[in-house]
Structure 1
Amino acid sequence: MRTSRAERATAYAVLGLATVLALYPMLLILVQALQPDRIGDTGAFHIENFKAAWVQGHFGTYLRNSVVVAVCVVVLSTALASLAGYAFGTMRFRGSSVLFYLLLLGLMVPSEAIVIPLYYDLRSLDLTNTYVSLVFPQVAQSLAFGTFWMRAYFRSASTDIVEAARMDGAGHFRILWSVLLPMGRPALATMALLIFMWTWNEFLLPLVMITDEGLRTAPLGLSNFQGQYTSGTALLAAGAVLVALPVVLVFLFTQRHFIRGMVEGAVKG
């Protein structure tokens, strides 16, 4: 299907406008982070704002905690979602549809509805103020989406390749590990990136579960930093850039797989 010049021009104009609207807030924060933090300071760019925010806001500790939590959640969620998605996508067993739709209820229940009961349950087990209280609940929250995503991929995978592997004597684990997962790197990368972003940006769960400053995550630490430096907008903007930078870097390194996974999902859907 060929498109006219007018249609291409309209598409580029819409995409350009969307790009400007998406980038403008980020550029505004970056420019603000480079402004002088105190009246009377001179100079065009104040790179030292990032160092000051890093030291005064203890962002080294907060970012380390966020990295630990995000990596654990992504690894566990990806592994469990791959296993569950393979089972629901390639196997037929009694009650599979009921179990799958029961699992999808996790997509419909907001975290705000369960965070208070979850807090009391974990407190009774003496698990608050630990990484466990941050990792396991977010793995459970991500598992419903991950299973749905991987099930869709496994159901769209080539059955001829799977049957050929079975004829060669490969079992379920061998087919999953050596055949389907290598073919599904874009789907895995897309799912892992989405889970990473959701986990990194999670604010409510650390706010409720964590009172120890040494275990605060980056978004929670940024909120605390905002309370200390409400008048220092440059340092606050620098802290926001530090918190957002890991997500931006991860996306830049995985964007090819992410875009390919989204496009393939849209085409197959």
Structure 2
Amino acid sequence: MLNTKSSTRLPGNLILLLMMVVTILPLLSMLFTALQPQGSLPAGLSFPREAHWENFATAFETSNFLALAQSSTFIVIATVPAAVLIATLAGYGLAHLQIPGERFFTVLFLLGLTLPMEAIITPLFYQLKGMGLVGSQWSIILPQMALLMPFGVFWMRANFLNASKELSESAQLDGANVWQVFRRIHLPLAIPAWASLSVLYFIWTWNQFLLAIVMVNDPTKRTMAGALGAFKAERSTDFVLLCAGSLLIMLPSLLIFLIFQRHFIKALMQGAVK
């Protein structure tokens, strides 16, 4: 029996190991390149004899990292909480409130997942320009919130559909209204779902590139990923500083994911456990 279980798990473990290697190797290559002397060519996966950790400090200063971090933080704070709240309310409504046209709206949100950003960026630019928002951080925040909605609503709807309806019925028999059922019963049970959604929204907003470079000319008002384009233009031949700057930009996303990965995995496993 043990041999059968081991043989069954072996292919899955090998796939996970392969995915881990494919994910980690590019990061290691970037780290080793960032530790090379400035102006040198990438040396692949060979750790330098003398690690130049000061390259990160140089990239921090030359890229105006502090101002970029403040801009990205403002964009994330203005986008993520509001987007998670709207997606949670909409997902709950589609799952439990039996609103007219529920199937139509669900299909509409699913179609939104297939809409590429590149297809709407030009009309979106002229629309925001007519509203006087181009050049400000709101030209990133408002479209980003709209782009996050299809996935977020579908994600939260699926979570609320898996919730026990008996709990809602019991609460209603005790005199609870719709808002109380949502706030006191379903919202606490959905903590893994909206916490993991917040992590995804943070990563996607922090790494938003296209909106940042199209809507805002000032690099200090862009996201970190969008500002990387300006940094690349200045340091296009210095691969060492480019790798160091890229790792600095990726670091907050990695830390957020590592901190909240427990909620993320729990949300993914809820449907399987049910």
TM-score tier, shorter chain, comes to over 0.9
Q: Does the alignment pair 1:206 with 2:201?
A: no
Task: Give the CA deviation at 1:11.
Answer: 3.0
Q: Counterparts in 2 of 1:182-261, with a 5 A limit?
A: 182-261=188-267
Task: Give the CA deviation at 1:14.
Answer: 2.7
Task: Give the CA deviation at 1:5.
Answer: 2.4
Q: In the alignment, what sits opposite 1:60?
A: 66
Pair 33,114 (structure 1): closer, same or farther in 2 beyond 3 Å: same
TM-score (norm 2): 0.91
Q: Does the alignment pair 1:133 with 2:134?
A: no
Q: In the alignment, what sits opposite 2:24?
A: 23
Q: Does the alignment pair 1:104 with 2:110?
A: yes
RMSD, aligned α-carbons: 1.9
Q: In the alignment, what sits opposite 2:161?
A: 155
- The whole-number CA distance in structure 2 between the counterparts of 1:219 and 1:266 is 35
1:107-157, Cα deviation, whole Å (9 max, x unpaired): 122111111111111111111111211111111111111111111111110
Q: Which amino acid aligns with 1:21?
A: V
Task: Give the CA deviation at 1:267.
Answer: 5.3
Q: Which runs of 5+ in 1 are unaligned?
A: none
1:4-37, Cα deviation, whole Å (9 max, x unpaired): 3233333333322221111000111111111221
- The whole-number CA distance in structure 1 between the counterparts of 2:14 and 2:98 is 48
- The whole-number CA distance in structure 2 between the counterparts of 1:113 and 1:13 is 38
1:196-246, Cα deviation, whole Å (9 max, x unpaired): 222122111111100123312211211211111122211111100000000
Q: Does the alignment pair 1:119 with 2:132?
A: no
Q: Which amino acid aligns with 1:22?
A: T
Q: In the alignment, what sits opposite 2:95?
A: 89
- The whole-number CA distance in structure 1 between the counterparts of 2:24 and 2:101 is 47
- The whole-number CA distance in structure 1 between the counterparts of 2:10 and 2:108 is 46
**Retained in 1: the 8 A contact 2:110–2:154?**
yes
Q: In the alignment, what sits opposite 2:15?
A: 14
> What is the percentage of aligned positions where both structures have the same residue?
38
Pair 71,266 (structure 1): closer, same or farther in 2 beyond 3 Å: farther
Q: Counterparts in 2 of 1:35-54, with a 5 A limit?
A: 35-38=36-39, 44-54=50-60
**Retained in 2: the 8 A contact 1:59–1:221?**
no
- The whole-number CA distance in structure 2 between the counterparts of 1:266 and 1:226 is 44
Q: Which runs of 5+ in 2 are unaligned?
A: 41-47
- The whole-number CA distance in structure 1 between the counterparts of 2:233 and 2:99 is 54
Q: Which amino acid aligns with 1:33?
A: A
Pair 71,265 (structure 1): closer, same or farther in 2 beyond 3 Å: farther
- The whole-number CA distance in structure 1 between the counterparts of 2:190 and 2:61 is 42
- The whole-number CA distance in structure 1 between the counterparts of 2:8 and 2:108 is 44
